[in-house]
Structure 1
Amino acid sequence: MNTLTHFASPQLPLLHRGKVRDSLRAPSGDRLIIVTDRLSAFDSVLETAIPHKGAVLNGLANFWFEKTAHIIPNHVIKLVDANAMLVKEAEPIKVEMIVRQYLTGSMWRGYQEGQRTFSGVTVPDGLTKNQPFPQAIVTPTTKEESDREITPENLVSEGWVTKELYDQMAVKSQMLFAVGSQLLAEKGIILVDTKYEFGLLNGKLILIDEMHTPDSSRFWAAEDYARNPETAEQMDKEYVRQWLIANKKDGKYLRALTPEVAQEASRRYLDIYQRIVGQALPTAETEAADAPHTGRQDARARLLANLVQAGMIKDAWVNIVMGSPADKEHCEKIRQQFEGYDVFTQLRVTSAHKNGEAIAGMAEIWNNSIEPGVIIAVAGLSNGLGGALAANVNVPVISCPPYKDYAELAMNLNSSVIMPSGTPNLTVVRPDNAAQGALRALNLPRLRERLNKDILATKAKLRAADEELRIL
C-alpha cells in the first residue's frame, strides 16, 4: 500500500514522535508537523497503516482552522503538503477541552455505573444512551501519561491554568463547537463530541493541534442516528476498533489489519473528508489518475518534492562521520568538495569502539530518511567506523581515511578491504574523489546532469591543453 508510516530527515531535528504525528524543527524555527498514515487503537499503534488517512486529517484540520479563524487565532502558517503543516511554535496548555453534546462513550459507561458528575458537570438521572444534552457541556481533562478528569476549580488550584485563562478556553470551545455543529449538520453529520487544545503565543491564547477530525471527534450520520439513536455508528476509526474486538486472539487485540479492512477504513476516511469539505481529497484523485500508468503515486516522493520546493530541505544529504574531533580538518576538506552542488552536508562524531551505541540512533534517522543520502566515514588506522556504519545503515558508506604516512594508510586500507560479509564499506583515499563518489551514489537526475557537464568541462580543458602543447 502507498502509505506514509514514518518521517525522518537528518536535515530536520525531531521534536516529538506521537502516535500519528511527527513534529520537527523547521529551518525557520517554526514547527513542521507531519501527519502520517499510522492508526492507533486501544493505546497502541497498529502495524498496518491506512492509505490517505494522514492527508485526510491534515486537510480537515486546515479546513476547520480556516473556518474558525474569526473565533480564535490558530497556529497554522501554511499547508506545505497534503501530509505536512508548518505551524507557529506555541507554549502548549496541558489541558484538553472536551466538549460533549451527547451522552455516549466513556461518559455513558460511567453513567451506567451510577456516576452523575463529570469534570464538575452534573447531569440528571433518567437519561438514555446517546441522548443529547440540552446544551453542550465542557468536561476538561489533563494531558498527562493518562488523561485525567478534573474540575475547572481543581485545574486552577493545581496550577494548570489561571481562572481567567480557563474561562476564556471554555468560551472559545463552546463557540468552536457551535460553528462545527452547524456546518456539519448542513452536511448530514452530527458532531457528537470533540476535543480542543490551546497554546500561548506571545502571551495570547491560540488554537493548536487539530480540530474536528475523525481522530479528535466523534461523528454520527444524521440519518443513522434518526433511525435508532442508541445504535448510531461512529463515522471514524470505530470501524477498526470493532473489527479488532471481534477478532481477538487469546484475549489480545491483533496488531495488524487485513488488506480488506485497511481499504475499508481508508474509504471511510475519504468519505468523511468529501462530505465535510464538499470535494474529494486532491491527492487521492491524483493517485487514482496516475495508477494505470505508474501503479501508484508515491506519497513520500510527493512530500519530499514539496518540502524541497518550500525551501525546507535539500533533496539529498551527505553525513560526514569522524571517529575523533581530531579528524575535523580532514572532514572539512571533504565537505568543501560539495560546494555548488546544493546538497545538505553535516559533520558528526562517533567512535566505533568508544561509543558505538550512538550509531543506532543515527542509523534510525538515516535508514528512514525521506531523502536519499550517503555517509562518508573518516577514521584513521583500523577502519572500524566504516564497517560499523556499513553494517547498520541502508545507504552507501564511503570511507576516506586521514593518514600521516603510507604505513598508516596501508593499515587502514588493509582493514577496509577485509570487511566481513554484510558490511559493504567502500574506501576512497582522496577527499575530492570521496565527494565525487558520494555525488554519484546519490544518483539524482539533477546531479547526473551536473556531473555530465563537469566531465565535459574536464575533457575540454584536456583538449585545450593538448592543442597548446602541439602548437609549441
Structure 2
Amino acid sequence: MSSAAFVQSNLTGIPVKRGKVRDVYDFGDRLLFVATDRISAFDWIMPNGIPDKGRVLTGISKMWFDRLEVSNHLLSMNPADLDLPTDAPLDALIGRSMVVRKTEVVPIECVVRGYLSGSGWKEYREQQTVCGIELPAGLQESAQLPEPIFTPATKAESGHDENIPFKVMCDQVGNELSEKLRSLSFEIYQKAASFAQTKGIILADTKFEFGLLDGEIILIDEVLTPDSSRFWPMDTYKPGGPQFSFDKQFVRDWLESTDWDKNSEPPTLPEEIVTQTRAKYIEAYELLTGEEFGWK
C-alpha cells in the first residue's frame, strides 16, 4: 500500500468546513476542496481511512469535469495556485485538491435514478413509488427503470439526506430553477451513463450538486464518483437482488458481520478490508479514466 490514510488536513489560519470526506477552505472568491481519505458508512465516519481514496475521488471528478460540456466550478488542480500558509503540507495535498469558484449553493441534492436500488427499492416495495413517482408493478430489486427518474433530496449536514417530491423542491428554490436543474441532471446522467457503459460499467444512480454564480448554473462538488454514484460491473449485473459495486461495499459488509450497533463509535476497519476497499476504488478509477492510478 502506497501510504497511510490522510484523514484530515490542517491549513493554519484559513476558515474551514469539514464534511464526511472533504475539508473545504475559504479563500474569499475561491475555495480549496481537499478530499481526505475518510470513509463513512451508516452515517458514521470510520476511525481509520482508505489510503488514496481522496485522490481517486478527485481524479474521477476531474475526468468528468473535463468530459462533460457543462459549466463547473473547477479552476485548478494545483493547491499552490492559492496563497497557502507556509506550513501547508503540499505533498499531501497534491492529487486530492481542487481550487474552485465559490458559488451560491443550491440546497438540494439532484438525484437521478436509472435503476431500482437503495432507498428507492425500499419505498417501491412498500408503495410502488419512488419519491412519490408511481412505477410499474412487478419490478425487481436492481431492475432498470423504464426511464430515468429525478428524485431530489434535501442536503443534510449529518445523517441521511431526505428524499422530497419535486413539488417541494419547487417550493424551496422556485419552479424555473427546479425545472432547469431537473433537465440538466437528466442530460448529464444520460451522457455519463452512455460513457460508463463503454467502460463496462452501469451507472445505476447518482447525485449532483449545483451552485449559482452571476445567474449561471454551475456544477459543483464531486461528480460521478463511487461516493456519489452507484457503479455496477456490467458483467456481473443480474436484477433480483443487490449488486456488487465499486464503492465501500466491503466496509458495509464487514460492519454488518460485527456486533456493532450503529449507535455508538464504530470499530476500526481491519487491514484486509482497507486493502480490498482501496483496490475497488482504484479499479473504478482505472476503468473510468482509462489510465493507471498514479499513487500505487
TM-score, normalized by the shorter chain, greater than 0.5: yes
CA distance in 1, matches of 2:202, 2:261: 36
**What residue in structure 2 maps to residue 78 of structure 1?**
76
From 7, 10, 13, the equivalent of 1:8 is: 10
| SS of residue in 2 equivalent to 1:230 | coil
| Counterpart residue type for residue 263 of structure 1 | T
Q: How does 1:143-292 map to 2 (within 5 A)?
A: 143-145=155-157, 146-157=160-171, 160-226=172-238, 230-249=241-260, 254-284=266-296
Report the alpha carbon displacement of residue 10 of structure 1 after superposing the two structures with TM: 1.3
- Contact preservation (8 Å) 1:196, 1:207: yes
**What residue in structure 1 maps to residue 81 of structure 2?**
none
Bigger proportion of residues as helix = 1
Which of these two proteins has the greater Rg computed from alpha carbons? 1
Is there any run of 5+ residues in structure 2 with no aligned partner, and where? 79-93
Is there any run of 5+ residues in structure 1 with no aligned partner, and where? 285-472
Report the alpha carbon displacement of residue 147 of structure 1 after superposing the two structures with TM: 2.1
| Counterpart residue type for residue 118 of structure 2 | G
Greater relative contact order structure (CA < 8 Å, 6+ sep): 2
- Contact preservation (8 Å) 1:23, 1:33: yes
CA distance in 2, matches of 1:251, 1:143: 21
Report the alpha carbon displacement of residue 56 of structure 1 after superposing the two structures with TM: 0.1
- Corresponding position: 1:97 with 2:110: yes
- Contact preservation (8 Å) 2:116, 2:142: yes
CA distance in 1, matches of 2:286, 2:240: 24
CA distance in 2, matches of 1:255, 1:75: 36
- Contact preservation (8 Å) 1:37, 1:54: yes
- Contact preservation (8 Å) 2:124, 2:130: no
Superposition RMSD on alpha carbons, in Å?
1.7
Report the alpha carbon displacement of residue 42 of structure 1 after superposing the two structures with TM: 0.7
| SS of residue in 2 equivalent to 1:19 | coil
| Counterpart residue type for residue 291 of structure 2 | Q
Alpha-carbon spacing, 1:252–1:167, altered in 2? closer, same or farther (3 Å): closer
CA distance in 2, matches of 1:8, 1:213: 24
Q: How does 1:118-129 map to 2 (within 5 A)?
A: 118-129=130-141
| Counterpart residue type for residue 93 of structure 1 | V
- Contact preservation (8 Å) 1:118, 1:139: yes
CA distance in 1, matches of 2:263, 2:10: 31
- In the comparison of the two structures, how many residue pairs are matched? 276
CA distance in 2, matches of 1:144, 1:5: 21
Alpha-carbon spacing, 1:256–1:178, altered in 2? closer, same or farther (3 Å): same
| Counterpart residue type for residue 199 of structure 1 | G
- Contact preservation (8 Å) 2:128, 2:137: yes
Report the alpha carbon displacement of residue 230 of structure 1 after superposing the two structures with TM: 2.5
Question: More deviation in 145-154 or 1-10?
Answer: 145-154
- Contact preservation (8 Å) 1:225, 1:231: no
Alpha-carbon spacing, 1:247–1:66, altered in 2? closer, same or farther (3 Å): same
TM superposition score normalised by structure 2: 0.88
CA distance in 2, matches of 1:250, 1:282: 38
- Contact preservation (8 Å) 1:5, 1:38: yes
CA distance in 2, matches of 1:119, 1:111: 9
- Contact preservation (8 Å) 1:118, 1:149: no
**What residue in structure 2 maps to residue 40 of structure 1?**
40
| Counterpart residue type for residue 204 of structure 1 | E
- Corresponding position: 1:55 with 2:55: yes
Alpha-carbon spacing, 1:256–1:120, altered in 2? closer, same or farther (3 Å): same
CA distance in 2, matches of 1:64, 1:261: 28
CA distance in 1, matches of 2:262, 2:51: 28
Q: Percent identity?
A: 35
| SS of residue in 2 equivalent to 1:283 | coil
- Contact preservation (8 Å) 1:82, 1:283: no
Structure 1 moving runs of 4+ over 6 Å: 250-253
Alpha-carbon spacing, 1:6–1:129, altered in 2? closer, same or farther (3 Å): same
